[in-house]
Amino acid sequence: MCASVVAIYAWPKRTWALSPVTGTKVAQYNTVAFDLDGTLLNPDHVINERTKQYLRELSRKGVRVILATGRSLPACYEHVRALDLDVPLPVVCYNGGCGAMFPPRPRTSPEAPFPEPEILFEEPLPRKERERVLALAEEGGVLAQYYHGDHIYVVCKTAEHRDLVARYAKLAGVGHTHIQSYEEVVGLDPCKILLMTDSPDEVTAAGKECFADGSVTVVRGSPPFFVEFLHPSVCKGVGVKRMCQVLAQKLEGVVSFGDGDNDLEMLQMTGKGFAMRNARSEVRTQAPNVTEHTNDKDGVVEELRKLERSGQLMAE
């Protein structure tokens, strides 16, 4: 996690408006940013129909929607298509290691394909650090997922490794590229390396000890069967900040939602941040706000409707 970001963070100045309900002064927001797994996605890893319809309504009103996820870019495609907004959709992926803009689907026909996304920024893991992460995985007998472009490279040596790969493929809806050795790909710049494990707290601790010099950002994954290793300047909060700079969007005008350890910087850096009711207690206690409902009960929609009714959420 980007601890330095949180340590020096000062709550942002906000834009104010009068509530149409009470007539009192309230903070105003015009952009919403969402984590995917455990937040915008339900426990079946899809977006509820009610949530899709509401976000399309918000988008048509001029409220900007941003996706901010630890997933790879290819693992976002199906959810971008499911939302099917009429405007370009900014996506922060790899926990802030990459930012992309998805153009809207052409409305010439229902079967029209989605255009390829435009990469706006990337921050890959440096060569020396990626070699150290792979060495840590080898030492612990842990499977590494090596991300580059549209590929997730893996070297499966055990039945446990193969089971973890299958679980991740089901979770993210992506395939893997199987190779014989990581030497085949270590020359390719990865936006992240992910270590797969059913002991995430142990691997997280080992990673933070190994990179106590701050040369790599180590993040406990959500769901908890992997640990992520990123460029030291990368975290989701910084990724959202970079995306807002590209969009000429004030960070204090953003409402954000997340459920994982990797979401905390984003929740603390934006104008209003919500941890999901289904988040770990450690996340809920550190987040500025907590949703009333879980991701299975449209928790995101319920909070946004409250903000919209109070006049706090509207287009500029």
* CATH class for the region spanning 3-123+235-309: alpha beta
Please determine, for residue 8, whether its predicted confidence score (pLDDT) is greater than 60: no
Q: Which of the 8 DSSP states describes residue 224?
A: S
Three-state SS at 268 = helix
pLDDT score of 193: 97
pLDDT score of 316: 73
pLDDT over 90 percentage in the chain: 82
Task: Pick the more confident residue, 34 or 1.
Answer: 34
Cα–Cα distance list, 248 to 70, 241, 244, 253, 303 (Å):
23, 10, 6, 11, 25
Say whether 127-230 and 3-123+235-309 share the same fold. no
**Topology classification of domain 127-230:** 3.30.1240
What is the helix (H) or strand (E) element at residue 52, kind and residue range? Answer: helix 49-60
Q: What residue ranges in the chain does DSSP mark as E strands?
A: 15-18, 25-28, 31-34, 64-68, 89-93, 98-102, 118-122, 143-148, 151-154, 177-178, 193-196, 217-220, 226-230, 254-258, 272-275, 289-290
CB 216 within 8 A of CB 133: yes
Cα–Cα distance list, 99 to 48, 96, 237 (Å):
25, 7, 12
pLDDT score of 247: 96
Question: Which residue type, as a one-letter code, is found at position 211?
Answer: F
Question: Domain residue spans in the chain?
Answer: 3-123+235-309, 127-230
